[in-house]
A and B are shown apart, each in its own frame.
Chain A
Amino acid sequence: MAATAGRSGDRGFRYSLVAPSIVILLLIGVFPLVYLLVVSFQGITMMETDTSFHGLLNYRLLFSDARLWQSLLHTIVFTVVALPIELGLGLAMAQLFIDRLPGRQVFVALLVLPVVVSPIVAGATWSLMFDNRFGPVNEIIGWIAGKEMPLLWTVKPDLVYVAILVAEIWQWTPFMFLLLLAALSRVDRSQLEAAQIDGAGYWRTFFRIVLPAIWPVMAVAILIRGLDLFRLFDIVWALTKGGPGTMTETISIFTYVKGFQQFETSYTAAVALLIIVLLSVLVLTALRRVSLSR
Chain B
Amino acid sequence: MNVRTRSALKLGLRYAIAIAITLFFLFPIYWLFMISFKTADEIYAYPPVWWPSTLQFGSYAVLFRDGDADTVWNSLVVSGVSTVLAMFFGTICAYSLARFRTGGDHLANWIISQRMVPPIAIVFPVFLLYVWLKLVDTYAGMILLYTAFNLPYVIWMMRGYVLDIPVALEESALVDGCSRWAVIWKVVFPMCRAGLFATAIFTFVFAWNDFIFALVLTRTEVTTYTVQVTHYFGGQSNFWSKISAMSVLGTLPIFVIVGFMQRYLVRGISLGAVKG
Which chain B residues border A259 with CB–CB below 8 Å? 124, 127
Give the chain B neighbours of A101 by CB distance below 8 A. 11, 14-15, 18
Centre residue among A13, A15, A18 by max chain B CB count within 10 A? A18
**B274–A31 touching, CB < 8 Å:** no
Give which listed residue, B127, B216, B251, contacts A117 with CB less than 8 A. Answer: B251
Partner of B237, one of A14, A134, A276: A134
Inter-chain CA distance A205–B114, complex, in Å, is: 39
* 7 A–B contacts, CB within 8 A, in A order: A21-B90, A33-B125, A182-B266, A224-B269, A231-B119, A238-B230, A255-B120
Q: Pick the residue among B118, B209, B262 that contacts A119 (CB under 8 A).
A: B209
Contact B171 A36 (CB under 8 A): no
For chain A, what secondary structure do more than half of its interface residues adopt (helix, strand, loop), or is it mixed? helix
Known: A21-B155, A178-B266, A252-B120. A125 touches B18 (CB 8 A): no
The listed residue (A20, A221, A284) touching B270 by CB distance below 8 A is A221
Interface range on chain A (Cβ under 8 Å from partner) = 35 or more
A175 interface contact, C-beta 8 A: yes
Interface centre among B31, B117, B120, B229 (most CB of A within 10 A): B120
Q: Does A115 contact B (CB under 8 A)?
A: yes
Contact with B along A86-113 (1 / 0, CB 8 A): 0000000100110101000101111111
Chain B 87-112, CB-CB to A under 8 Å as 1, else 0, gives 00110110111011111010111011
How many whole Å from B91's CB to the nearest CB in chain A? 9
Restricting to A20-35, which residues have a CB under 8 Å from any CB of B? 20-22, 24-25, 27-29, 31-33, 35
Residues in B with CB closer than 8 Å to A107 are 18, 22
Q: Is the CB of B250 within 8 A of A118?
A: yes
Check if B121 sits within 8 Å of A93, measured CB to CB: no
Q: Does A285 contact B (CB under 8 A)?
A: no
The reply to whether the CB of A69 lies closer than 8 angstroms to some CB of chain B is no
B: residues with CB less than 8 A from A are 11, 14-15, 17-18, 21-22, 24-29, 31-32, 35, 43-48, 50, 89-90, 92-93, 95-97, 99-103, 105, 107-109, 111-114, 116-122, 124-129, 144-145, 147-149, 151-152, 155, 160, 163, 167, 170-171, 174, 180-181, 205, 208-212, 215-216, 226, 229-230, 233, 237, 240, 243-244, 247, 250-251, 254-255, 258-259, 262, 265-266, 269-274, 276
Whether the Cβ atoms of B205 and A233 lie closer than 8 Å is no
A272 and B124 contacting across the interface, CB-CB below 8 Å? yes
Within 8 A of B (CB), among A251-294: 251-252, 255-256, 259-260, 265, 268-269, 272-273, 275-276, 279-280, 283-284, 287, 292-294
Q: What 0/1 readout, one digit per residue, does chain A (198-220) give for beta carbons within 8 Å of chain B? A: 00000000000000000011001
Query: A residues touching B (Cβ–Cβ < 8 Å)?
Result: 1-5, 9-10, 13-15, 17-18, 20-22, 24-25, 27-29, 31-33, 35-36, 39, 93, 96-97, 99, 101, 105, 107-122, 124-129, 131, 133-136, 139, 170, 173-175, 178-179, 182-183, 216-217, 220-221, 224, 227, 230-231, 233-234, 237-238, 251-252, 255-256, 259-260, 265, 268-269, 272-273, 275-276, 279-280, 283-284, 287, 292-294
